[in-house]
Copies of this chain bind each other. A is one copy, B any other.
Amino acid sequence: RRTGVAEAVLCGSKSAAQIAAILDRARAEGRRLLLTRLRLDQFRDLPDPCRADLDFDPVSATAILGAAAPDGAAKPGTLIVAAGTSDLGAATEAARTLGFHGYAAPMIVDVGVAGLWRLMARLEELRAARVLLVAAGMEGALFSVVAGLVEAPVIALPTSVGYGVAAQGQVALHSALASCAPGVLAVNIDNGFGAAAAAIKILRISVG
């Protein structure tokens, strides 16, 4: 791809027939493929041969056609920080995307702001990363707190975890954008794919 990151197939609004057709074409051309936002019911509606070829992960609602990662050692530099178990869907979409492109995706979970000491205990790991990808829902205070602790760029991945005013992730997104910590970068709510794509682009320029 000319932009350096493979387009993924966004399945949410596609019928099983449309997805199957896309898979068939890719297989015919021998291309690997990353599918995102593939709900369990959509996966089940795919024709049997399609399903058999896919590495499907229900937590992240992603599937991969072909090898889950390219040959060779995974490239280091990224750290994924997830506020809680509920944020694992988006965080894992990011991890799978990083893996698909050949990047390592270590993850720290359950370090929400309500228990600051849990986060502080991991400070060394946080400071070792070259780019951080922070997934959080609710009020998204974690973005500002992490960005206030490290020098590396922080990509905020707001998740749709929350209810009431926070329903669908709006508060977390807005907290990322309005952060008083300089230089927090945001992607769309639940956009683990985009967060990973951005991290890859950032890591790549440090080599080239």
Contact = CB atoms under 8 A, between A and B. Distances in A.
Given A164-B177, A178-B166, A3 B86 contact: no
A2 B116 CA distance: 10
A163 B186 contact: no
| Residue of A13, A18, A139, A171 contacting most chain B CB atoms (<10 Å) | A139
B151 A13 contact: no
B202 A151 contact: no
Nearest to A206: B206
A30 interface: no
Contacts of A202: 153, 202, 205
Nearest to A83: B180
27 contacts: A2-B115, A3-B147, A3-B151, A3-B182, A8-B182, A12-B161, A15-B59, A114-B181, A139-B176, A140-B175, A141-B180, A151-B201, A151-B204, A153-B205, A160-B164, A163-B188, A163-B191, A164-B177, A166-B174, A166-B177, A166-B178, A182-B197, A183-B194, A183-B201, A184-B194, A186-B187, A205-B206
